Structures are given as structure tokens and as C-alpha cells.
Structure 1
Amino acid sequence: MDLFDRVLALSRYGYFCSQILAILALETVGADDPGLVKAMGGLNGGVGFSGGCCGCLSGGACLISYFTGKPGPTEAESAGHKALMAEFTDWFDQEMLIHYGGTDCRDITKGNPAKRVELCPGIIAQTYEKCMELLSREGMI
């Protein structure tokens, strides 16, 4: 199954943007963490379905941090963590501004929830691919 089809399959189970990104990240490392997937649901639909910050932006940042962030009280985040986060958020901002006029869900969907079905799977897949590209380039995955 290709990435886009996997995203569609997960969305049919009722998962949204940030949760799908978390599931894909967990699958990448062969892990299962229902608590993480549940928690990521708070970012869906622009944080609590408020139409704010796109869950792919916040979820993508969480995905990168899952691999590069500070793992414990005596350990530091990976050396490239902040640079990867900046590169990802700059990329996302530019892509969404060019194609949709902004990075909030309400910008992307133009306030029409039906647009989620049309647009979001492609944005989720594109976001996941970009995160994996950045992490792979830095040897994090």
C-alpha cells in the first residue's frame, strides 16, 4: 500500500491529520503507542477543531521531535533538532501560503469542512514525506 492509500485508510478509521502523522511515525519504528495517538487528537482540525494552526504543521513538528527531541531529564535534544524544526516549519509555511493562502485549517479549507476530504490526505502525505526526508538526511531514521 502506498503512502496516500495508507493515509486514506487511516482516515476511514476516523483518524485526522496529526493522529495519522503519529501513527505513520510509530509504524516507521515498529512501535505502538495508543496514548500518543490519542493525545495527538488534540491537534486535529486546527487544535481542537477550532480551525487554527493546521494539524499537519503541529503534528509534523511533533513527529520530528519524536525522533530528535529531548528524551529525558539528563539527556539533550539531538544537535540538529532546532534547525530541523525551523526548516520544516519554513517549508510548511511556504507550501501552504502558496497553495492555500495560510497555515490555519480555516485558510486551507476556506471554512468548508467538506474540503478536508478533498485536501487533507494529500497534505498529510506531503507533510510525512517532508518530515521523513529531513530526518533521513540528518541520519535520525
Structure 2
Amino acid sequence: MTSSLDIAPLVGRGYCCSQAMALLALEAMGRENPELVRAMFGLCRGLAQTGGTCGILTGGCCVLGLYVAKGADEEEAHPMANPVVAEFADWFREKTAVYGGDTCPAILGEHDPHGPSPAHCGTLLAESWDHILEILTAYGIDPTLPRGEG
């Protein structure tokens, strides 16, 4: 199981949640892709820093897309691509209901009189990565293999 201690070094090096999700997937595949990691910045802090939908959710959906989506003319999407991504989104929304929603302000507790709780993010990021691995495994997708190599 991934722990928030496994995630902390990524955040400590200045990556946001969505970028950390991409880095975890790339690491699992033994790959580097700085362009992808930079692109994931657009999902940081709730979609372009707006406080919208959490970057863990949007980043997680993008990561799942790495494994199941069509990426070239000669490719076809995994036959279960939509259910794979929907399963993660449904799980995430259920998981964050206790915070009052799937936005960054809700998860961080910015409306909580006791103040923000960034600890929620580390735990949620670790749990989300673990759930992504579970989903991929359940659909027979090896998270260590890039799309088209499995």
C-alpha cells in the first residue's frame, strides 16, 4: 500500500497532486515524460488553481487514460476504458463526500473553522493511487506496462 510518506517527497519537490499522480504512473512504467508532468500542472489546485475539482480526481482520470485510451490512429481504446475511468471517479466522489465534495476547498477544509488540513491531500493521494492500481489489476491491465506493451 502506498502511504502519504511515499507521496511526500514528490510534493516536497514542488509537484502538485495531479503531477504526483502522473509521476507515480510513469515510475510504475519505468518511464520519464517531463512534457506530460508539465501538462498536468493545468489540473493543479482544482483545475488551473481555481479551487474546482480536485487534481487527484482529474489527474487520476488522466493517468487511467494513459493505460486505457486511444492515443494514436492505429490504436483502439481498451474495451472497458469508460468503465475504468468512471469507477475511479465514482469511488473518489464517494470518498470525498465526507469533506463536502470533490473540490480543493472542500478537501482542504478551507471552510472549516479549524482551518485547512493539507494532511487530507496526502492520504487521499496515496489511497487514490492504490485504488487506481486495484482498478487496473481488476481489468487485467499491468500498471508496469505502457499502453500497447501489455
Shared fold (TM-score, shorter chain, > 0.5): yes
CA deviation vs aligned residue, 1:51-99 (integer Å, no higher than 9, x gap)? 10100110010011111110212321101110111111111111111x2
SS at match of 1:49: coil
Partner-residue secondary structure (3-state), 2:118: helix
Match runs of 1:22-41 below 5 Å: 22-41=22-41
The residue that corresponds to 2:119 in the other structure is 118
Task: Tell me which residue corresponds to 2:102.
Answer: 103
Distance 1:60 1:17 in 2: 9
Question: Hey, what does 1:92 align to over in structure 2?
Answer: 92
Aligned residues, how many?
A: 138
* Percent identity over paired residues: 33
Which residue identity does 1:79 align to in structure 2? P
Deviation at 1:116, TM superposition (A): 5.4
Task: Tell me how far apart the structure 2 counterparts of residues 139 and 14 of structure 1 sit (CA, whole Å).
Answer: 33
Once the two structures are superposed, what CA deviation does each residue of 1:88-135 show, in whole Å capped at 9, x if it has no partner? 1111111111x20101111112337x7353211111111111111000
Deviations 1:7-54 (A, max 9, x none): 001110011100000000000010000110111011010011111010
Distance 1:84 1:26, change over 3 A: same
Question: Which aligned pairs between 1:1-141 and structure 2 lie closer than 5 A?
Answer: 3-97=3-97, 99-111=98-110, 115=116, 117-141=118-142
